Amino acid sequence: MANQDFSLSGAVKVRPAVQKDAAPLHQFCFPERDEKEITDELKADLAKGSQTHRLVAEVSGYPIGQIFVKKDANDPEVSTVGDLVVSGPFRQLGVADHLMAAAETAAAEDGAKTLEIELPASEKSVIKRYKDWGFSEKPLVVLQKTLEAAPEPDEETDAEEETQEEQPVETGTEQQTLLED
């Protein structure tokens, strides 16, 4: 039999998620995660008063991709996008583009003027994709310090501390001095 070319057609619909999407999202987008975890997250996103909009991309009635948009608690003009996932067989069909466009619309309708996403610097290909959608890097430095566990105070130390006279504590000047240097 010779090779035959044929074309397939279908429609991708992006819509707000509903609770019954949990099982298909687990099956097609998050098979490595627990279905109850996905169900609980979706339930929280759909709860009254939630600041999160979860959108799904659907083909033939089955959710094959999703994204969330969450309003920033401190700045109503900023929303965060995340959990953009598209099932493997649909990744080359532009489904992520449709989900991102719908996320932008949902954020704008909710009063956002800026969309943000936090990604590890090691995710070079993902960062490039978001830049293709118009995102740009913010000049932000995240500093981190690992703290060692404090030693348990013993009774002798507690007694010594109680007998010492309390000295007034000056606040604010050390930080200001650091900032002025």
Q: Could you give the domains of the chain?
A: 12-132 (3.40.630.30)
60-109 pLDDT, tens digit per residue, is 889 999 999 999 999 999 999 999 999 998 999 999 999 999 999 999 99
> b vs e for 11-41, b when ≥16 Cβ sit within 10 Å of the residue's Cβ?
ebebeebeeebbebbbebbbeeeeeeebbeb
21-73 pLDDT, tens digit per residue, is 999 999 999 999 999 999 999 999 999 989 999 999 999 889 999 999 999 99
Look at the pTM and tell me if it is higher than 0.95: no
